[in-house]
Chain A
Amino acid sequence: MHMRLLTTAAVAACATLALSAQDPAQPPPPPRQPSAITVTISGAPGLPPKYAVPDFIALTSDPETVAAARVVGQVLWDDLNFEREFYLIPRDTYKTIPRAASVDEVPLDQWKQLGADGLVIGTVRRTAAGVAVQVRLIDVATGKTAMAKEYSGSLKSLGNPRLYAHTASDEIHEQQRSLRGVARTKLAFSSDRDGERIKGPVADRAISNIYISDYDGANQQRITVTRSLDIAPAWSPDVKSIAYTSYRTNFPDIIVQYIYEARAYTKPASGSSAKQNFLPAWSPDGSKLAFMSQRDGNPEIYVVNKDGSGLRRLTNHPENDVTPTWSPTGTQIAFTSNRTGTPQIWIMNADGSEARKITSESWCDRPTWSPSPFNEIAYASRTGPGFDIKIFDFQNRDTKVVTDGIGSNESPAFSPNGRHLAFTSTRTGKEQVFLIDRDGKNLRQITRSGMNRYPNWSQ
């Protein structure tokens, strides 16, 4: 979990080609020439560049290194495929190409024959300190190195080699496409997969706790262990803590838990049986939480500073006001209200003023504001017996349907680059967490065990 990846040294021969490969700890020398000389790999006109990512080369022969080399190659292929910026040549077509013994002896002609524009090769080796992973992106047409990196970590990091692939993928997307990748981001959700039950008044009840995973569903891990209901997690923008709704004191309250630190959790909304608090949403700067509470008699939206100070009520209406989400600049809040008779999506200024409705459908809920540069709100909308995920675009005031009407699809959460959504769906039976691209393509199932709800995507 606490693996540290350090970009230790650039491969010297390529340092002038790949600016981002310089050690970030050392200030760059004053530029004498244009500072950002990068090789951008392009494909045929009108087509995305074709990339090939073979297994990494294990430079030491111990089984852990050999296994890690295979995993890094496969995961990097998946990561690069995820953003759809490149066409990833299927890996089973690489068989005819002899495996390189090192990054300097690559049979470029054969990769060219396969149609590759970009080739990502790399090595994994044990070192005295732990493990080192070398990654090189080669422009197949010219043989130039577009990116060269070496990452190192402790021996323990061999147990989760995926993080090397995720890091390399994010750097390749950044360098080649100026795109913020999401390969190192995380998901959080609630799940009853462990089958634990609490005594209910009539029958025993299945409890849910909070779980996290990598963006691709790997490394699923339980992070709360309570015999109660823990639901609706929200990653803090710094990805150090998760705010969620917990019933551990028999009434719902918001808990902020520093999941990587031995540090007591906090309850910024200071709940009690008369002041119950739900559905926390972090402000983009991480300083405040918006949430729902019934403390003044019916569900309303409130905001409080992370340290529990500055509590303020934002809505004041006898109907239900639920599920706040912040605009990327923190100046507006969207929420769900049934003040016109049915649940619809509303927006207001962050001080509660100028509330206005933006949807007019049969039932809309759980708005989630996109990150910039998109200016959109995703939400769940009743489209039949179940719900579908829709996206409302403020620019042209139009709405498009993202999911396909199979099962009920709810609780959308944007990825930090706005290109993907996590949501729940009953399409395979019980509710599970899925990912989908904003255009409705690339549906991917993340959870399979138990019932999984309330997905949230970290920065």
Chain B
Amino acid sequence: MMQRRLLLVVAAIALAGADACAKKKPPVARPTTPPPAAASSNPGSRPPSPPEPVREPEPIPAEPIASDPLSSTDIDSINRNSPFHPVFYAYDQAEIDAAGQQALNGNAELMKKYSTWIVTIEGHSDERGTAEYNLALGERRAVAARNYLVSLGIPAERLRTVTYGKEFPFEPGHDEGSWSKNRRAQFVVTSK
């Protein structure tokens, strides 16, 4: 085992060396006459010809891999079209289900890619519970999402939590269709 690894290393060095040798071979240099020193040949007698107009550079087509609109977008615009997936919860629950885990896995990837972003996780509830208890429930939801992201390797100091209880519903309706969207953890970039 040990020997085999050693052998591989030796082979790698040999290959690298061969490559270096190939590069070392210099091209054959041919002596050429030096260009005339333009400034000293006709001092002061004639104004230098105006510089050639610079041609406009050909636009380089954007490479899809290199472009990153999010890096250059302001925080408000990022949040308006948030790249983060909200996490939704069951009634009076703060546990993260499979769909929630999937959303958080994606959010963790984003946070790893944009490693300077500080994200606030907002915990919200639907309108059915009482206003006071929902503040605690929203807190639990935000913390559950944060803990999951931390378990995926996101530093806790990049994650803040805040609960709004039922103060800021996402959908205004009064049925399960709206309630299920309002029981959520929402991710907001607060600094980048």
The residue that B136 contacts in the complex, of A201, A206, A292, A363, with Cβ under 8 A, is A292
- Complex interface: chain A residues within 8 A of B92 (CB): 338, 342-343, 363
**A298 near B139: Cβ-Cβ < 8 Å:** yes
Distance A252 CA – B143 CA, assembled complex (angstroms):
15
- Complex interface: chain A residues within 8 A of B148 (CB): none
- Complex interface: chain B residues within 8 A of A199 (CB): 76
- Complex interface: chain A residues within 8 A of B120 (CB): 250
Is B168 an interface residue when CB atoms closer than 8 A count as contact?
yes
Is B178 an interface residue when CB atoms closer than 8 A count as contact?
no
- Complex interface: chain A residues within 8 A of B164 (CB): 229, 247
- Complex interface: chain B residues within 8 A of A202 (CB): 79-80, 82, 170, 186
Known contacts A202-B79, A202-B170; A336/B133 CB under 8 A: yes
Q: What is the size, in residues, of chain B's interface with A at 8 Å between Cβ atoms?
A: 30
Q: Which residue of B lies closest to A274 (CB)?
A: B160
Is B130 an interface residue when CB atoms closer than 8 A count as contact?
yes
Is A148 an interface residue when CB atoms closer than 8 A count as contact?
no
**A343 near B82: Cβ-Cβ < 8 Å:** no
Distance A232 CA – B165 CA, assembled complex (angstroms):
12
Distance A250 CA – B191 CA, assembled complex (angstroms):
13
Distance A292 CA – B140 CA, assembled complex (angstroms):
13
Distance A30 CA – B72 CA, assembled complex (angstroms):
85
Distance A298 CA – B139 CA, assembled complex (angstroms):
8
Distance A385 CA – B128 CA, assembled complex (angstroms):
8
Q: What is the size, in residues, of chain A's interface with B at 8 Å between Cβ atoms?
A: 43
Distance A385 CA – B136 CA, assembled complex (angstroms):
21
The residue that B131 contacts in the complex, of A276, A292, A297, A411, with Cβ under 8 A, is A411
**A366 near B82: Cβ-Cβ < 8 Å:** no
The residue that B135 contacts in the complex, of A278, A297, A410, with Cβ under 8 A, is A278
- Complex interface: chain A residues within 8 A of B82 (CB): 201-202
**B140 near A380: Cβ-Cβ < 8 Å:** no
**B80 near A411: Cβ-Cβ < 8 Å:** no
Is B132 an interface residue when CB atoms closer than 8 A count as contact?
yes
Q: Smallest Cβ distance from B155 to chain A, in angstroms?
A: 14
Distance A199 CA – B80 CA, assembled complex (angstroms):
10
Interface, chain B (partner A; CB < 8 A): 76, 79-80, 82, 92, 120, 122, 128-133, 135-137, 139-140, 143, 160-164, 167-168, 170, 186, 188, 190
Interface, chain A (partner B; CB < 8 A): 199-203, 205-206, 208, 229, 231-232, 247, 250-252, 273, 276, 278-279, 292, 294, 297-299, 320-323, 336, 338, 342-343, 363, 365-366, 380, 385, 387, 410-411, 424, 453-454
A-B contact pairs, 19 of them (CB 8 A): A202-B80, A229-B167, A247-B162, A250-B162, A250-B190, A252-B162, A299-B135, A299-B139, A299-B140, A320-B136, A320-B137, A322-B133, A322-B136, A323-B132, A338-B92, A343-B92, A343-B129, A385-B128, A411-B132
